[in-house]
């Protein structure tokens, strides 16, 4: 079955007019969402991609007639993926800044320049290698030139490399979704339905991205990327009858802040959070507040949970935090590259103490946390850098 047969378009009447105008109506109706988007990068990618597909709709008639506008398809198949790659330079959060505006101008100028070059040299390139550079139309579908498929592959590889450097799966998913939708709109969707299909798909991606960001702001701690206290409270409401809770606090954290500054304190919290995120025995770590963390162990005895927490305690106590005299690099990859190159005298040792309590019959989670806190303070009074837990009955 041809894909276009799934939603054939009427050729006349009010329905045909509404379908033709639907991409514009969708974009206008979601304008408030676009304007208030919390990610300038996602907004720029969505709006620019939609404009590309509106341009393709304007070219659809001449493309079907096999006119000289084959070079337009060549330009679109190359410039769309490269534009999406360029959008990685735009800020991930907030509205467009002056820097982002300059980047958009540079990308726009580059795009216009390449469009002109391809249009001007297109006929010569076509004669040189038709299989590589010529887009064709077959049964109302566009077959991109090989260089177009190569451009999309290149853009996807760049996304994978960036993900490998940063570990940001959300950004990989966002960019991959835009690339896949753009590729499908250019080569797998009937010409008449390209604007409607692409607009709906891209706007849905943008909506899902915003929902994900809103969820992150509500349930993810921005500094440590651990689930926040609100997420912990929600988890406590759904726990079963058998669980243990660990309350954990960084030792002498106020002294770290006072002596070495809040930037170093933030580094300490982020590093400890990374260790806690790898806790074993099914534990789930949360940022409780300040320098205090909580770990929930479902269906685990306190002694088993204590072994898992003590492994992390030993790893943290052996770790040496580098004291930076200059401002911390915003790039995670550059930080990883420089790690371990600083003199040992510019390092800091940090430890934490923890207390673990098990839910007794009829107890509420708040009561379990209170007893875990008491064990935590007892561990601090006895010298810190230790894990105390309740003995099982």
pLDDT tens column, 267-325: 899 999 999 999 999 999 999 988 999 999 998 999 999 999 999 999 999 998 877 66
The more confidently predicted of residues 331 and 108 is: 108
pLDDT of residue 6: 45
Kindly tell me the sign of the dihedral angle through the C-alpha atoms of 145, 150, 155, 156: positive
Burial grade of 91 (CB within 10 A; 0-12, 13-18, 19 or more): middle
Of the listed ranges 112-121, 247-256, 350-359, the least confidently predicted one is 112-121
User: Is residue 342's pLDDT more than 60?
Assistant: no
User: What does the pLDDT average to over 197-219?
Assistant: 75
pLDDT of residue 133: 53
Q: What is the 3-state secondary structure (H, E, C) of 174-239?
A: HHHHHHHHHHHHHHCCCHHHHHHHHHHHHHHHHHHHHHHHHHHHHHECCCCCCECHHHHHHHHHCC
* 7 neighbors 193 (Cβ within 8 angstroms): yes
User: What does the pLDDT average to over 250-255?
Assistant: 91
- 223 vs 322: CA distance, rounded Å: 18
Which residue in the list 192, 281, 291, 301 is annotated as catalytic?
291
- 119 vs 113: CA distance, rounded Å: 10
Q: Which of 84, 89, 213 is nearest to 154 (CA)?
A: 84
User: What does the pLDDT average to over 19-38?
Assistant: 63
Q: Which of 119, 365, 143 is nearest to 234 (CA)?
A: 365
Q: Which of 70, 108, 110, 80 is nearest to 183 (CA)?
A: 80
- 145 vs 147: CA distance, rounded Å: 5
Burial grade of 32 (CB within 10 A; 0-12, 13-18, 19 or more): exposed
- 321 vs 324: CA distance, rounded Å: 9
- 87 vs 79: CA distance, rounded Å: 12
Of the listed ranges 257-261, 370-374, 380-384, the least confidently predicted one is 257-261
- 157 vs 231: CA distance, rounded Å: 35
pLDDT of residue 287: 93
User: Which domains are seen in the chain, by residue range?
Assistant: 11-219 (no CATH), 229-389 (3.30.70.270)
- Mention every residue, 6+ apart, whose C-beta is less than 8 A from residue 194: 53, 56, 57, 60, 185, 186
The more confidently predicted of residues 18 and 80 is: 80
User: Is residue 338's pLDDT more than 60?
Assistant: no
pLDDT of residue 26: 67
- 75 vs 189: CA distance, rounded Å: 18
User: What does the pLDDT average to over 16-35?
Assistant: 64
User: Is residue 1's pLDDT more than 70?
Assistant: no
* 247 neighbors 289 (Cβ within 8 angstroms): no
Please provide residue 232's backbone torsions phi and psi, each rounded to the nearest 5 degrees.
-65, -45
User: What is the pLDDT of the chain when averaged over all its residues?
Assistant: 77
> 54-68, 92-106, 227-241: which has the highest mean pLDDT?
227-241
Confidence of residue 130 (pLDDT cuts 50, 70, 90): low
Per-residue pLDDT tens over the stretch 146-188: 777 888 888 888 888 877 777 677 778 888 888 888 888 777 7
Reply yes or no on whether 291 is catalytic. yes
Number of CB atoms found within 10 A of residue 257's CB: 16
User: What does the pLDDT average to over 340-352?
Assistant: 70
**Helix (H, G, I), strand (E, B), or coil: what is residue 19?**
helix
* 264 neighbors 256 (Cβ within 8 angstroms): yes
Kindly state the percentage of the chain with pLDDT values over 90: 23
The more confidently predicted of residues 46 and 380 is: 380
pLDDT of residue 17: 67
**Helix (H, G, I), strand (E, B), or coil: what is residue 104?**
helix
Q: In the 8-state DSSP scheme, what is residue 343?
A: -
Confidence of residue 328 (pLDDT cuts 50, 70, 90): very low
Kindly state the percentage of the chain with pLDDT values over 70: 70
């Amino acid at each position: 079955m041809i894909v276009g047969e799934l939603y054939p378009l009427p050729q006349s009447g009010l329905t045909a007019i509404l379908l033709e105008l639907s991409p514009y109506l969708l974009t206008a109706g979601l304008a408030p969402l676009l304007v208030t988007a919390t990610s300038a990068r996602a907004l720029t990618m969505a709006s620019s991609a939609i404009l590309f597909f509106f341009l393709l709709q304007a070219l659809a008639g001449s493309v079907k007639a096999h006119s000289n506008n084959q070079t337009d398809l060549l330009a679109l198949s190359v410039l769309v993926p490269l534009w999406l790659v360029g959008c990685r330079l735009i800020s991930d959060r907030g509205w467009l800044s002056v820097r982002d505006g300059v980047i958009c101008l540079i990308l726009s100028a580059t795009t216009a320049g390449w469009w002109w070059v391809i249009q001007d040299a297109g006929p010569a390139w076509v004669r040189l290698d038709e299989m590589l550079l010529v887009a064709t139309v077959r049964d109302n579908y566009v077959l991109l030139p090989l260089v177009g498929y190569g451009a999309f592959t290149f853009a996807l590889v760049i996304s994978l490399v960036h993900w490998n450097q940063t570990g940001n799966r959300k950004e990989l998913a966002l960019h991959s979704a835009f690339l896949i939708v753009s590729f499908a709109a250019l080569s797998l969707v009937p010409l008449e339905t390209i604007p409607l299909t692409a607009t709906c798909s891209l706007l849905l991606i943008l909506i899902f991205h915003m929902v994900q960001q809103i969820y992150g702001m509500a349930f993810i701690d921005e500094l440590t990327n651990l689930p926040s206290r609100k997420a912990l409270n929600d988890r406590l409401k759904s726990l079963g009858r058998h669980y243990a809770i660990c309350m954990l606090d960084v030792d002498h954290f106020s002294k770290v802040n006072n002596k070495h500054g809040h930037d170093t304190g933030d580094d300490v919290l982020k590093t400890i959070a990374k260790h806690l995120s790898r806790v074993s025995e099914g534990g789930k770590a949360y940022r409780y507040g300040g320098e205090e963390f909580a770990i929930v162990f479902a269906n685990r005895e306190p002694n088993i949970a204590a072994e898992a927490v003590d492994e992390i305690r030993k790893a943290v106590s052996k770790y040496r935090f580098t004291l930076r005299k200059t401002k911390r690099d915003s790039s995670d990859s550059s930080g990883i590259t420089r790690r371990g190159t600083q003199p040992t005298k510019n390092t800091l040792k940090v430890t934490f103490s923890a207390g673990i309590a098990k839910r007794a019959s009829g107890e509420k989670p708040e009561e379990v946390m209170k007893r875990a806190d008491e064990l935590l303070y007892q561990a601090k009074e006895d010298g810190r850098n230790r894990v105390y837990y309740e003995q099982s009955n």
